[in-house]
Amino acid sequence: MQFTDQNRLFSLWGRDPLAVSTLLHKQYRLHQASGDNERTSEVRVIDEITNFVSTSGAMTEGRLYEVPMLPQEILDQPDRALDYMLQAVHQAVDWGASLVGLGSMTGIVGGRGQYLADRCSASVTTGNSLTTYAALQTLYQACEEVELDLKSETVAIVGVPGSIATAAARLLSAQCGKILLVGRQASSPAMKLSRELQAELVLDIDEALKRSRIIVCATSSGDCIHQSALRPGSIVVDIGVPSDVRGSSPLRGDVLILNGGLIGVPESVPLDSKMLWFQHGMIPACLGETIVLALEDRPESLSLGRELDLDSIQQIGAIAASHGFDFSRLLSFGRELEPERLLKFQKQLTGRRRTANAPESIQNLSARAENWFARHINPVLQAMSHRTGFVKTFVRGEGAYLYDSKGRRYLDFVAGFGSLNLGHNSPSITSAIQQALQEQAPGFAQSAINPYAATLAHRLAQLAPGDLEMTFFANSGSEAVEAGLKLARRVTRRKAFLSCNGGYHGKTMGALSVTGNETYREPFSPLLDSCKRIAYCDYDSLERELSTGQYAAFVVEPIQAEGGMNVPQRGFLREAQALCRATGTLLIVDEVQTGMGRTGTLFALEQERVSPDILLLAKSLGGGLMPIGAMLTTRELWMKAYGNVQSFALHTSTFGGGSLACAAGLAALNQLSSPEILGNTVRRGEQLRTALEEMCERFQCLKEVRGRGLLLGLEFQPLSETILHHWKNVDRGGITEFLVPGYEDSLSSFSALRAMLVLLEGYSIYTQTARSNPYVLRIQPPLTIDEEQVDSFLDALRATCEEIDATDRMFGAIVSKNSVAEFERNAAPVLPETPDNTPSSK
Ligand code: PMP
């Protein structure tokens, strides 16, 4: 068929399938009305697939031929259709095809391809095996999404004794409660199938729809199911071409009508074929089968006749998946099903009742985790995981190791950003929690005295520097910061806070107000007013600001961890303490990340001989298993803030000081203050630092190593200027900056990101970059890490840096060669000599 509205059609192609089909429909009616004048009567090539590359690297090429008949005409005039198809097959063979696939409607005439296969030298397949496989995958996926158990369902298979319906019935019979075979007449193959599967043959489709909630339909006549006849909660997998379900859009919200027999094109396939990328990369599985056989270099007549081989169906499905074809996308009337629609449907189906009574194992839960994480927690993070693979689904943690759902083991050099100083599931912490559980300790009891909390506060008072002896228990680092800020305001009656650029104190409103990262603050402004930041360790600014006497507190970290492991020069914190004392400003030291042994002493402050007015803890205070934060202060300050009947309950938290968290806290404190752990931290820290310093000398991509104990950061050099310059040259219009504001910074810090990816995928080592300084790879393993584990990390890092240096050199050389060539082209354009550009003789 020729289209008059070509431009509009192609502008919609692949973007709006519904609009395209409406347009096609309109065109068809138009052609019918005009007596079909413009229809071609020739078989013709409508698309050429020149470089189909599967995700496993296999390649093939092909052509798509169009037979100039409409579906209804093919059904009405099978002989004419057969003639055209024979012409098409011969054309394809002349072109050089060794395998010919019959698409949708053409697959059913001529004894389902047998006639054509007998008359040509190439193999012929209908594609019905992969179509059957794809349709069943759609059904399984839908059932999983809406948590429906096929075993307790009656499934109607419409279109018996067609080859797809027959194969689908055979494959499904063992997997569902009951099968109803639905056909137009009691034909002998239909009766035979009914006997074989001991399934009832139903000749009235409406009766079948009343009796089943799952319908798989694959007729060749189409239009046999009225949406209104479906039971609420029905799921229809419609494989029919033309569609078995009437209408071009869903009319009801309480049924799910899915396109069956479509599959996703592998992501590796270039976008230059309009046919393949029509419908957002979903193609009929019959076409997919031909492509898969071609990719495998297996020119076989896989799917001919009425009886499809069940093993071949499973086999071709698995092979297709290994080439990157996607069976997981659910479409309804040509449009991707929105997750909200699925959720709504599921709610209708099951009510709000929980389906599983017993808690499921984490391994089981992980099967759907990525999908549900995207849907209900963070689609962007999940998309990054999907694209780059650097966001993992971990299902087990033990000591310094994490395990993913496939059992792959990763050495953890992130350690929960300092929450896992004792490693994963440390036996000392699990047994402390188990003991509290065994004793049936009350989880939470308001306005009551909790023995675990009281003991933990006492232990903290014994171990904390100076005369910090009062503790407020919170549930996170940010909450501990909030408690500190509020106490400082109460005590000093001043409202302003001073903190440092690059500092990180959390993301709740108050904590964010003193966090020194504009990117985090700006989207939520206005935050607490009168907050100001100075450069880290800038004594003069600190003195100038504090002398104004307006600040309730100066908030500072002993080492800026998120800021890129910035270590202050010795003495700064003591000087800051003196300035604070002199100006009536409280000194709040945030040891949420530096504390609990991380730097080789229980608190980093011990190495500075500083005793703050307020000390903040969290992360590893929970032993890596419980959330807990703590604000420690002196008795004097606490009494000033909260020391009477009117004020003692001004700042509280429902969960703060809960039994399990404090039981874990007690065990964590005991372990992390032990000479064994602290000694190991110092020794492993030295082992790492010495090797990393050597590496900084040796590798071009590295700049320096910073930090203390096992709180280390390895700063990478910015990506070479040549490469950056080249990119800007390529992208003169600035589209990258437009799409990804600030991309230059991200691109510039690419080496650290790359190291992180290579370590993860190449060496199974889990690292992260510092949140506020992407040039810095954080090196922050559990404090229990041993010498051998550190060695294996160092070997992997050496190999990674070698690789980065080598590829940078290679890339740099190519880029500078190109840039020079381009520069020369731009600088001295070679123009043809015309009277206008010949040098004038003036
Ligand atoms: N302060 C510091 C120094 C931190 O490193 C963090 C967390 N990275 C926080 C506060 C905030 O802790 P949380 O994420 O538990 O709120």
- Cα 478 to averaged position of ligand 1 atoms, centre (Å): 6
C-beta of 705 in contact with ligand 1 (< 6 A): no
Q: Is the pLDDT of residue 14 over 80?
A: no
Question: What share of the chain has pLDDT > 90, as a percent?
Answer: 66
Q: Report the distance separating Cα 294 and Cα 691, nearest Å.
A: 52
Q: Which atom belonging to ligand 1 lies closest to the Cα atom of 594?
A: 3
Under 8 Å between Cβ of 665 and 622: yes
What would the mean pLDDT of 393-398 be, rounded to a whole number?
Answer: 96
Q: Report the distance separating Cα 820 and Cα 837, nearest Å.
A: 25
What angle, 0 to 180 degrees and rounded to 10, lies between the N-to-C axes of helices 128-145 and 163-173? 50
Q: Which atom belonging to ligand 1 lies closest to the Cα atom of 478?
A: 16
- Cα 562 to averaged position of ligand 1 atoms, centre (Å): 9
Q: Which atom belonging to ligand 1 lies closest to the Cα atom of 629?
A: 15
Under 8 Å between Cβ of 477 and 506: yes
pLDDT-based confidence at 12, cuts 50/70/90?
low
Q: What's the predicted TM-score (pTM) here?
A: 0.76
Residue with tokens 């190495």: 607
C-beta of 545 in contact with ligand 1 (< 6 A): no
pLDDT at 354: 54
- Cα 474 to averaged position of ligand 1 atoms, centre (Å): 12
> If you take atom 1 of ligand 1, which residue's CA is the nearest one?
505
pLDDT at 421: 98
Q: Is the pLDDT of residue 391 over 90?
A: no
* Per-residue pLDDT reduced to its tens digit, 605-662: 999 989 999 999 999 999 999 999 999 999 999 999 999 999 999 999 999 999 999 9
- Cα 133 to averaged position of ligand 1 atoms, centre (Å): 50
Burial of 611 (0-12, 13-18, 19+ CB in 10 A): middle
**198 CB contacts (<8 Å, ≥6 apart)?**
none
C-beta of 558 in contact with ligand 1 (< 6 A): no
Q: For 473-571, where are the alpha helices, taking DSSP H only?
A: 477-492, 509-514, 518-521, 539-546
- Residue to mutate (ligand 1; options 421, 499, 593; most atoms within 8 A of CB): 593
Q: Which atom belonging to ligand 1 lies closest to the Cα atom of 508?
A: 16
| Residues present in the chain in total | 842
Residue with tokens 């070997």: 795
pLDDT at 835: 42
Q: Which atom belonging to ligand 1 lies closest to the Cα atom of 507?
A: 16
- Cα 492 to averaged position of ligand 1 atoms, centre (Å): 25
- Cα 149 to averaged position of ligand 1 atoms, centre (Å): 43
C-beta of 563 in contact with ligand 1 (< 6 A): no
C-beta of 608 in contact with ligand 1 (< 6 A): no
Q: Is the pLDDT of residue 842 over 50?
A: no
> If you take atom 12 of ligand 1, which residue's CA is the nearest one?
477
Which DSSP string corresponds to 134-146?
HHHHHHHHHHHHT
- Cα 508 to averaged position of ligand 1 atoms, centre (Å): 10
- Amino acid at residue number 274: K
* Per-residue pLDDT reduced to its tens digit, 689-739: 999 999 999 999 999 999 999 999 999 998 877 677 766 666 666 666 665
| Residue 709: both structure tokens together | 């104990």
pLDDT at 641: 98
C-beta of 592 in contact with ligand 1 (< 6 A): yes
| Residue 480: both structure tokens together | 């501990």
- Cα 138 to averaged position of ligand 1 atoms, centre (Å): 44
Q: Which atom belonging to ligand 1 lies closest to the Cα atom of 619?
A: 15
Q: Report the distance separating Cα 62 and Cα 48, nearest Å.
A: 6
* Per-residue pLDDT reduced to its tens digit, 401-441: 999 999 999 999 999 999 999 999 999 999 999 999 999 99
Question: 249 or 211: whose pLDDT is higher?
Answer: 211
- Cα 624 to averaged position of ligand 1 atoms, centre (Å): 14
- Residue to mutate (ligand 1; options 420, 619, 711; most atoms within 8 A of CB): 619
Q: Which atom belonging to ligand 1 lies closest to the Cα atom of 616?
A: 1
Under 8 Å between Cβ of 222 and 158: no
DSSP annotation of 632:
E
pLDDT-based confidence at 840, cuts 50/70/90?
very low
Q: Which atom belonging to ligand 1 lies closest to the Cα atom of 503?
A: 3
Q: Which atom belonging to ligand 1 lies closest to the Cα atom of 481?
A: 10
The number of C-alpha atoms within 13 Å of 746 and in the hemisphere containing its C-beta is 7
Q: Which atom belonging to ligand 1 lies closest to the Cα atom of 506?
A: 11
C-beta of 556 in contact with ligand 1 (< 6 A): no
Q: Which atom belonging to ligand 1 lies closest to the Cα atom of 590?
A: 3
pLDDT at 343: 85
pLDDT-based confidence at 801, cuts 50/70/90?
very high
Q: Report the distance separating Cα 624 and Cα 597, nearest Å.
A: 13
Strand partners, 616: 590, 631
> If you take atom 10 of ligand 1, which residue's CA is the nearest one?
505
Under 8 Å between Cβ of 345 and 213: no
Residue 526: asked if its preceding bond is cis (omega within 30°), the reply is yes
- Cα 588 to averaged position of ligand 1 atoms, centre (Å): 14
Answer left, alpha or beta for residue 334, where phi above 0 means left and psi between -120 and 50 means alpha: left
User: How many other β-carbons are positioned within 10 Å of the β-carbon of residue 222?
Assistant: 19
Residue 242: asked if its preceding bond is cis (omega within 30°), the reply is yes
* Per-residue pLDDT reduced to its tens digit, 164-186: 999 999 999 999 999 999 999 99
- Residue to mutate (ligand 1; options 592, 594, 620; most atoms within 8 A of CB): 592
pLDDT at 334: 84
Q: Is the pLDDT of residue 827 over 60?
A: no
C-beta of 478 in contact with ligand 1 (< 6 A): yes
Contacts 24+ apart (CB under 8 A), 189-197: 189/161, 189/306, 190/160, 190/161, 193/160, 193/161, 193/166, 193/169, 196/170, 197/169, 197/170, 197/173
pLDDT at 5: 46
- Cα 598 to averaged position of ligand 1 atoms, centre (Å): 14
What would the mean pLDDT of 373-384 be, rounded to a whole number?
Answer: 85
Under 8 Å between Cβ of 530 and 576: no
C-beta of 772 in contact with ligand 1 (< 6 A): no
- Cα 504 to averaged position of ligand 1 atoms, centre (Å): 7
